[in-house]
């Protein structure tokens, strides 16, 4: 359980998976680690899979807003960027996060399927599905 990511230079996309319980503190730690990773960003696209994140409904809305603000402040470092999010039952929190990105160079859209998100991002859906599963399987239980 936790958060895992992979920077894929071939797809020019960062793939992120949340699984089971995730705390706001873990979210901050993993995001900071990703931003200091020399491989990040591999390109102008990110796919975040929250479908198996049990903890997101328990992350306080203030923490969601704070993380959205952090990303908006970092947006100039990314340049134009597309962010596809696959929420679980937490559509409202994803929308709150997206609102914080308003007027940045990040376009964020929530999707209900990997295939639709991949079409929008322009990445290979089969590859993305396999990679997301591998990331999820690699997380500690």
Q: Tens digits of per-residue pLDDT, 14-30?
A: 999 999 888 889 999 99
Most confident residue range from 17-31, 56-70, 123-137: 123-137
Res 57: pLDDT = 64
Rounded to the nearest integer, the mean pLDDT of the chain is: 92
- Residue 34 to residues 109, 119, 125, Cα–Cα distance (Å): 21, 24, 23
Give 2-138's CATH code, choosing from 3.30.750.24, 3.40.50.300, 3.90.79.10, 3.40.1110.10.
Answer: 3.30.750.24
- What is the rounded distance in angstroms from the CA atom of residue 128 to the CA atom of residue 59? 26
The mean per-residue pLDDT over the stretch 117-132 comes to: 98
88 confidence band (pLDDT: 50, 70, 90)? confident
Tell me what percent of the residues of the chain surpass a pLDDT of 90.
76
State both tokens at 67: 């993380």
Enumerate the domain spans of the chain: 2-138
The mean per-residue pLDDT over the stretch 117-133 comes to: 97
DSSP string, the chain: -EEEEEEETTTTEEEEEEES---HHHHHHHHHHHHH-TT--SSSEEEEEEEE-SSGGGS-HHHHHHHHHHHHHHHHHH-SEEEEEE-SS-HHHHHHHHHHTTTSSEEEEE-S-HHHHHHHHT--HHHHHHHHHHHHHHS--
Sole residue written with tokens 């730690």: 29
pTM for the full predicted model? 0.93
């Amino acid at each position: 359980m936790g958060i895992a990511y992979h920077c894929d230079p071939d797809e020019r996309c960062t793939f992120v998976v949340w699984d089971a319980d995730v705390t706001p503190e873990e979210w901050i730690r993993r995001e900071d680690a990703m931003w200091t990773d020399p491989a990040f960003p591999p390109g102008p696209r990110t796919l975040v899979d929250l479908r198996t994140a049990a903890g997101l409904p328990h992350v306080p809305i203030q923490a969601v807003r704070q993380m959205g603000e952090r990303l908006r402040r970092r947006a100039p470092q990314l340049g134009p960027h597309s962010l596809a999010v696959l929420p679980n039952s937490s559509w409202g929190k994803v929308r709150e996060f997206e609102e914080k990105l308003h007027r940045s160079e990040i376009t964020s859209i929530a999707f209900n399927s990997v295939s639709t998100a991949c079409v929008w991002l322009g990445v290979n859906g089969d590859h993305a599905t396999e990679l997301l599963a591998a990331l999820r399987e690699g997380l500690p239980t």
